[in-house]
């Protein structure tokens, strides 16, 4: 099985992408191959709804190329699930978003959960976005932000974990039964955070690749009743799967 992980942040290094794949590899079967690609021309990192829109054309192109190259699923490595509906229209193979996968996974271990973002400026956007994921709004008990502006989650892991733990404690004290991490830069921090907080913490990157692997093993494909390919230009570029 081959899974293409699309990181929508532009211009990531091969080493950075390989590191993420190595971390995720331990959550999938030995015969599951993980690959990561990112846009090279969009010039944006995903920090807003506008960034998501600007990255979308390249994300779709990478997804199409992945299907044409024989990949069995695509994972969108971002809590904005960039261009997920467009990718599902373009592809027959499953397209799994980090946000949707993690929120649905959370409901297997709790009745309601909180979502922890990195940046409080995105709270209004994400409150609306979460309503599009197929999760009853009553199951999302709260949305909070750790406000990590100025911190690099990869270069400053301990400081990041400290900030996440402080925010998480406030959420748990306010009744959060579980926490979904609302940024895929938090990869690898869910387990230590869960140990500190005493509630399940869902890593969206892990949830996404695990969901993709499960969907492929069930031999499920994207419903073309739900996501028909109507774009004539796209039809000319996409091979039959």
Q: Per residue of the chain (241 residues), what is the pLDDT tens digit?
A: 999 999 999 989 999 999 999 999 999 999 999 999 999 999 889 999 999 999 999 999 999 999 999 999 999 999 999 999 999 999 999 999 999 999 999 999 999 999 999 999 999 999 999 999 999 999 999 999 998 877 888 889 999 999 999 999 999 999 999 999 999 999 999 999 999 999 999 999 999 999 999 999 999 999 999 999 887 666 666 655 4
Q: Among 207, 234, 210, 231, which Cα is nearest to 99's?
A: 207
* Segments making up each domain of the chain, as ranges: 2-98+206-237, 100-203
Shared fold status for 2-98+206-237 and 100-203 = yes
> What H or E segment, with its residue span, contains residue 143?
strand 140-145
Q: Are 147 and 170 in contact (CB under 8 A)?
A: no
Could you confirm whether domain 2-98+206-237 is CATH 3.40.50.1860? yes
Structure tokens at 15: 């080493």
* CB neighbour list of residue 30: distance below 8 Å, 6 or more residues apart: none
Q: What is the CATH number of domain 100-203?
A: 3.40.50.12500
At residue 236, the pLDDT reads 66
Q: Are 195 and 104 in contact (CB under 8 A)?
A: no
């Amino acid at each position: 099985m081959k899974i293409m992980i699309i990181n929508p942040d532009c211009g990531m290094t091969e080493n950075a992408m390989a590191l993420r794949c190595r971390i995720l590899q331990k959550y999938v079967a030995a015969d599951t191959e993980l690959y990561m690609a990112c846009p090279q021309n969009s010039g944006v990192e995903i920090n807003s709804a506008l960034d998501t829109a600007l990255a979308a054309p390249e994300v779709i192109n990478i997804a199409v190329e992945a299907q044409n190259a024989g990949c069995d699923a695509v994972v969108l490595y971002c809590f904005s699930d960039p261009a997920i509906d467009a990718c599902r229209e373009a592809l027959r193979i499953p397209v799994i978003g980090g946000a949707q996968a993690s929120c649905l996974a959370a409901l297997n271990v709790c009745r309601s959960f909180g979502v922890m973002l990195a940046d409080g400026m995105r709270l209004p956007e994400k409150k609306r976005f979460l309503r599009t994921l197929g999760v009853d709004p009553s199951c999302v008990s709260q949305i909070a932000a750790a406000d990590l502006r100025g911190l690099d989650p990869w270069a400053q892991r301990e400081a990041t974990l400290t900030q996440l733990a402080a925010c998480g404690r406030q959420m748990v004290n306010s009744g959060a039964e579980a926490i979904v991490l609302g940024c895929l830069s938090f990869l690898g921090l869910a387990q230590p955070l869960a140990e500190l907080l005493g509630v399940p913490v869902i890593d969206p990157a892990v949830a996404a690749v695990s969901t993709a692997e499960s969907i492929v093993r069930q031999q499920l494909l994207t419903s073309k009743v739900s996501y028909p390919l109507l774009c004539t230009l796209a039809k000319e570029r996409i091979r039959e799967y």
